[in-house]
Chain A
Amino acid sequence: MSSVSHVKAPATAPEDGGGSAAPTPGRPPVSLNRRRVRAGWLFASPALLVVAAVTVFPVVFSLVLSFWEVRLEYGGLRLGSPTLGHYEALLTHSEWYRALAFTLGFTVVSVTVELVLGTLTALVLERLGAARGWILALLLLPWALINVIAAQLWSYLFNGTYGAVSWLCEQLLGTQPDILGQPVPAMAAMVVVDVWKTTPFVAIVVLAGLMLLPGDVYEAAEIDGANAWTTFWQVTLPQLRPIVAIAVLFRILQAFGIFDLPFVLTQGGPGTATQSVAILGYRVLFQNLDFGGGAAVAVTTAVMVLACCLLFLRVFRAHVDEEGRA
């Protein structure tokens, strides 16, 4: 690394006068700093180039594809003329709206449930003594389980004839529902699996937030005579907000891109009841081989995700400023 900077030093910075090769006692900070700037870019660029080539470039490529007539031929992709047809098809197709509605509904319901259960779990864990470490470790297991395996496991549990959940339903309700065979129960099942798998993440993040809260606020609340309920809503929750906000953003974006779970658990069915946007995109691409249409699905998804991020950052920043000024 140092030899590279020596060779390049005169070419890129003639006024440096070989200072980096033999630092003169009078001005080492300048050459040192130049060298550090150069090293900074040299160290950062391999990673940034890989990321740009494999993520940024394809996103831009998707954007282009979505506005062009695309045909797949033996030699590769053949581009026709520019068109808005893919977006027109998307916006006039009820299947896209249904996929979007399911994905949004799924995201809102599952993230809300995870947030509530995750906070409750964190509150319990915070109060636990020696057992906390053990339970924390156990909570990591569903989180680390491969999505596809979680989906297979729950499709067994939800199985209409011999699944344990179905059997439990029969004992409690008297009827044996075909959970994955009806639209609404299938959607609910999807939420259950997602909640089971990702509540641990929310709980651990909230727990970390709880541990960081200063103890003196609680003492103040105690002196003021606040009960546990009031303390939670007026002292604990407001202070947790910044931490919870980021966890929620992560979860929203993850839930919005959900693919593995419906692919294995319901195959998007019954009908298209649990077809997420990602599943729709995949089908348009690889079953219909409609690359332009698939790109349009991808781009609209990406735009919504970006909008969500920016909106969130704005609201969150505004909130931080407000707190800072208050």
Chain B
Amino acid sequence: MSRNVPRKGVRRYVNAVNLGGLLIAACATLPLFWMASASLKGPGEISATPPSLLPKDPTFANYDTAFHRNGIGHYLLNSVVVACVSTVLILSLAFFAGYALSRLPVRGRGAIMTALLMLSVFPPIAMLVPLFLMERQVGLLNSYPGLIIPYVALNLPFAIWIMRNYLVGIPGELEEAAVVDGAGPLRTALTVILPLARPGLFTAGVFSFTATWSEFLLALTFNGSDDRRTVSVGIALFTSQYQVPFGVIFAGAMVATVPIGVLVLIFRRSVVSGMTTGAVKG
């Protein structure tokens, strides 16, 4: 162990850090690489011992099966509809709520924010039965709104937190200038605050989209029928056939992972700022 202060390591120490970085990168990505590789393997090779790192005879047969026999394309479409509509609704509601709770004189703001923070970590199993019964009563089971409505409600608390924390930091002068010009709260919100709120909206949006894209418990319970299944349920239930078709599962998994992976990489700054929103500012 070097006797130096961490910031000024000797050369050996720098090498250890680089090795550590390499190890971290390998741990994070090796399983994903394994999945990508396995999705290209034929039925014999995928269950061969010793396992091979790269497919000897790469084939797209698994992707073909996933799309044409297991209908992964249909599940994807369901996921896209549910996640996109939910995210748009979450963002519009969270923008106004965040604006009100950060810049307008709403009484009991502190209590509301604490309640929202607690709700954002509440286990969904606690709401599962009543929601199921309510949806059954009004005939929302196995429909898009049947998932979109609970998704919006469950992801709003965190989105409001992100928006509120972001909007608190916008200087008040711009808003005051708009008020002096005679703009009402709605016009101020839409013309002054909204353009400045874009980074906050990106963060809330990418978190909402990731959460709704991945959600499993409600999707399994409310939209179990094949025509309204989302991708996570579809991939989980691939197993229920007599033999576990890992190649096809991974082909489907790759198709479901690539969009979300690209999204997260594009918006990586927003993701990082969202992760630390509760910690740094809360």
Contacts and interface: CB of A to CB of B under 8 A. Distances in A.
Nearest to B9: A127
Interface string B239-282: 10000101001100100110011011100100110011011101
Given A1-B185, A53-B153, A141-B261, A298 B28 contact: no
Contact of B129 (A32, A65, A151, A253): A65
B31 A301 contact: no
A291 B133 CA distance: 10
A43 interface: yes
Interface string A129-156: 0011011111111111111110111111
B160 A138 contact: no
Contact of B49 (A142, A149, A162): A162
Closest 4 CB pairs of A and B: A257-B123, A54-B153, A40-B104, A39-B185
Given A228-B4, A298-B125, A167 B50 contact: yes
B153 A201 contact: no
B249 A128 contact: no
B47 interface: yes
A47 to B, nearest CB: 4
Q: Say whether chain B's binding surface is mostly helix, strand, loop, or mixed.
A: helix
Contact of A153 (B5, B7, B34): B34
5 contacts: A44-B101, A157-B31, A208-B279, A253-B123, A291-B133
Given A51-B119, A152-B246, 18 more contacts: A1-B185, A43-B100, A54-B154, A55-B119, A61-B130, A135-B25, A141-B264, A144-B261, A147-B214, A152-B238, A200-B28, A231-B5, A247-B279, A250-B278, A256-B123, A281-B128, A299-B126, A302-B126
Nearest to A245: B279
Contacts of B99: 43
Contacts of A145: 32, 257, 260
Of the listed residues B5, B239, B256, B261, the one surrounded by the most CB atoms of chain A closer than 10 A to its CB is B5
A215 to B, nearest CB: 8
Interface string B134-155: 1011000000000001101110
Contact of A149 (B20, B97, B256): B256
Interface of B: 1-7, 9, 14, 17-18, 20-21, 24-25, 27-29, 31-32, 34-35, 38, 46-51, 93-94, 96-97, 99-101, 104-107, 112, 116, 118-119, 121-134, 136-137, 149-150, 152-154, 156-157, 160, 179, 184-187, 189, 210, 213-214, 216-217, 221, 231-233, 235-236, 238-239, 244, 246, 249-250, 253, 256-257, 260-261, 263-265, 268, 271-272, 275-276, 278-280, 282
B93 A59 contact: no
Given A139-B28, A291-B133, A164 B276 contact: no
Contacts of A138: 25, 28-29
A77 interface: yes
Contacts of A227: 1, 3
Interface stretch (A10-18, A87-95, A258-266): A258-266
B262 to A, nearest CB: 10
A50 interface: yes
Contacts of A97: none
A204 interface: yes
Given A46-B97, A146-B232, A263-B236, A128 B105 contact: no
A172 interface: no
A305 interface: yes
Given A136-B268, A149-B253, A47 B184 contact: no
Contacts of B236: 148, 151-152, 260, 263-264
Nearest to A1: B186
Contacts of B261: 141, 144
A50 B156 contact: yes
A142 B32 contact: yes
Given A153-B31, A228-B3, A302-B122, A131 B21 contact: yes
A253 B118 CA distance: 10
Interface residues of A, number: 118
Contacts of A200: 28
Given A153-B253, A156-B246, A260-B217, A142 B104 contact: no
A141 B264 CA distance: 8
Q: Which label, helix, strand, loop or mixed, suits the secondary structure of the A interface?
A: helix
Interface string A217-240: 011011000111101100000000
A252 B9 CA distance: 35
B125 to A, nearest CB: 5
Contacts of B160: 47
B232 A148 contact: yes
Contacts of A163: 51
Nearest to B238: A152
Contacts of B123: 253, 256-257, 278, 301-302, 305
B275 A55 contact: no
A112 interface: no
Contact of B104 (A39, A47, A143, A162): A39
B4 A35 contact: no
A271 interface: no
B264 A140 contact: yes
A282 interface: yes
A51 B279 contact: no
A226 B133 CA distance: 62
Nearest to B160: A47
A146 B231 contact: yes
A96 interface: no
